[in-house]
Structure 1
């Protein structure tokens, strides 16, 4: 598939310019059709029935499950289906048997979903060490070296910032963690949709991601585990091998983390989204977004009253660009972009209040985020509209 041809699969792009994929991506027709096919032709629960619909649903769910795991390079580990990254991270926070005096390392780059669960552990005597990035949002592995100790149980870090777009050195941080027998959780919500990911190469212990940011439906995602060593948060149907009136035996592998009915149709749809991304190629998608990102940064940098927040263009970033405008609230800018040119962007704190405080941005930023269905003409319309807004500010 040629990336230039993909826009036809996203009908909404005919009506507006969608630059908010860091929040939720659009979904192609092929994924919608795949989910409709499940609901209309073989809708049934999985793993519990022997009739033909259940057999078909179970086979297609498991096939999708395997495709998703392979997509992130996780064939050697365990993948539990979740409803999003937040739930996946919560499974780690709730599944480790913490002891008073344990330490967790986190960063102010994190989305609230990968920050607040660790703060809450302080109720159990767990101490939190916080690493702060430089002015461009980059994290130096030496910063982790200085805070990780033999008391550190876990480090939690984003793979790519949802505000600044910079890619963090997770592989180097994994090495540091393992030198101290500490575990590493990587939040891959922003990386998996946009760059090639191989969890086995990263060396992390846990990796979380969301389906709704990678062309899939909402209510889908995953937690990959190098070893299935977490205590399951839920127990029930589908998660046990056997049960008596006195006791039960949990299932082995991923089943023990998927109690109850999972998002069957959604997971099958996410598997189709993985097929779509593979048909184009993640290297192709990354190169496409690099070109768009460079064009955005060049265009915004030339406009008066506009300040880009975070790093300028280099190879260590994804297609997320944040900026502020003198004398205007980010929400005001986003509203004008919508009303004037049908451009959809995100504004505010992006669920990253500690980072905004670190950067001194009381009202947050305007965030532009690209994906495979965006094109240079849309980027040019964005910069032209921002330039027009800038002239009115002056």
Structure 2
């Protein structure tokens, strides 16, 4: 199989992930922070070691500002619902994933005011329109770092400056960039950063995290056991315990820790250069297919690892089915849980075919897929 659905989840996982998870279940699977015996201590060290590795990757100090979540969606909900109150105003964009759009819709029904600023045809946010959207009660700006549909990298540092100048906080959805695009939190200017562990970080599903910056006070969206301050009937006030209740996904975090070791060894700069080369080869090759339409920025350096296209005469779902059944190529068609992004690109309601590369794809694979798509255009279009 040629796997080009890394924007949904990475595959294969980093070397050592499966082994770390198996070893944890067989030898180390205590409940972290809940007991003093060896298994509990070892499990706690696996969790804290992964937390420290994430902090190093993102330039975060102290590591306790990294809160483990189930995925990016979980982290975004924790940030949005832990921060916003009725009467607050929030600014977002027209290319967001449903993990932002749906919580904001729910909050709007509770009295939160939501402004959705437009994006240009390549998916880039209109910064001037965003600057005009601020109000006296603007509490937050939330923006994806990169579109999960077109790969478009947003000018997040510029948006952060606008938000902070207006006295607002800035939440970044890093689902498509953390682990794939090298950066430090300080580079983004983010007060909050939500991300998954199973995409660019190459770890297992069911893992993710939320960075909570200084001066950000989130109300817990759930309370419960933390292994600390058990004598209290209120949630502890210190991070990460304030936002981490219940037994964590320790086996998943053990796998994530192994993935982070691999990323540290290979280097994010090398991974980024590799994926930019793959995206460039995809776009250059697909541009030669008669009738095919590409979406997103032309410059691969302005994209994460996703490339979207449509073929005349064929629905995206048909193209994906042919690639799967006839050529053993895995891609994702449709709306990609981001209908607003497709409205912006002009591809709603059928969506696009999305090819999303990862660190284990090769130029030869990309060239093969371009050839298969050209064959589909000739034979089925």
TM-score, scaled to structure 1: 0.92
2:20 to 28, 34, 45: 34
Judge conservation of contact 2:123–2:344 (CA < 8 Å) in 1. Answer: no
Provide the secondary structure at the position in 2 that maps to 1:20.
coil
Judge conservation of contact 2:160–2:170 (CA < 8 Å) in 1. Answer: yes
How far apart in 1 are the matches of 2:312 and 2:53?
A: 46
User: Which range is displaced more, 19-28 or 233-242?
Assistant: 233-242
How far apart in 2 are the matches of 1:28 and 1:291?
A: 20
Would the alpha carbon gap of residues 125 and 279 (structure 1) be closer, same or farther in structure 2, given more than 3 Å must change?
A: same
1:211 Cα deviation from its structure 2 partner:
0.8
Would the alpha carbon gap of residues 97 and 312 (structure 1) be closer, same or farther in structure 2, given more than 3 Å must change?
A: closer
Provide the secondary structure at the position in 2 that maps to 1:209.
strand
How far apart in 1 are the matches of 2:170 and 2:235?
A: 28
1:249 Cα deviation from its structure 2 partner:
5.5
> What does residue 364 of structure 1 align with?
351
Judge conservation of contact 2:46–2:257 (CA < 8 Å) in 1. Answer: no
1:140 to 110, 126, 137: 126
List alignment gaps of at least 5 residues for structure 1. 1-15
1:243 Cα deviation from its structure 2 partner:
3.1
List alignment gaps of at least 5 residues for structure 2. none
How far apart in 2 are the matches of 1:183 and 1:283?
A: 29
Cα RMSD (Å): 1.5
Judge conservation of contact 1:242–1:248 (CA < 8 Å) in 2. Answer: no
> What does residue 226 of structure 2 align with?
238
Provide the secondary structure at the position in 2 that maps to 1:335.
helix
Provide the secondary structure at the position in 2 that maps to 1:224.
strand
1:288 to 260, 274, 284: 274
Provide the secondary structure at the position in 2 that maps to 1:253.
coil
Q: Does 1:184 align with 2:177?
A: no
Judge conservation of contact 2:156–2:188 (CA < 8 Å) in 1. Answer: yes
Q: Does 1:96 align with 2:83?
A: yes
Q: Does 1:23 align with 2:8?
A: yes
Judge conservation of contact 1:293–1:321 (CA < 8 Å) in 2. Answer: yes
How far apart in 2 are the matches of 1:239 and 1:197?
A: 33
1:239 Cα deviation from its structure 2 partner:
6.3
Judge conservation of contact 1:159–1:186 (CA < 8 Å) in 2. Answer: yes
How far apart in 2 are the matches of 1:42 and 1:239?
A: 18
Judge conservation of contact 2:335–2:350 (CA < 8 Å) in 1. Answer: yes
How far apart in 2 are the matches of 1:385 and 1:248?
A: 59
How far apart in 2 are the matches of 1:239 and 1:166?
A: 41
Question: Which digits, 9 at most, give the CA deviation of each residue in 1:142-188, with x for residues without a partner?
Answer: 22111122221111100011001111011110110001111111000
How far apart in 2 are the matches of 1:166 and 1:21?
A: 16
Judge conservation of contact 1:82–1:220 (CA < 8 Å) in 2. Answer: yes
1:242 Cα deviation from its structure 2 partner:
4.1
* Structure 1: 4+ residue segments shifted above 3 A: none
Judge conservation of contact 1:83–1:222 (CA < 8 Å) in 2. Answer: yes
> What does residue 36 of structure 2 align with?
50
How far apart in 2 are the matches of 1:371 and 1:97?
A: 35
Would the alpha carbon gap of residues 384 and 149 (structure 1) be closer, same or farther in structure 2, given more than 3 Å must change?
A: same
> What does residue 60 of structure 2 align with?
74
Provide the secondary structure at the position in 2 that maps to 1:207.
strand
How far apart in 2 are the matches of 1:315 and 1:267?
A: 31
- Superposed, 1:170-319 pairs within 5 Å as 170-213=156-199, 214-227=201-214, 229-238=217-226, 241-243=229-231, 247-248=233-234, 250-319=236-305
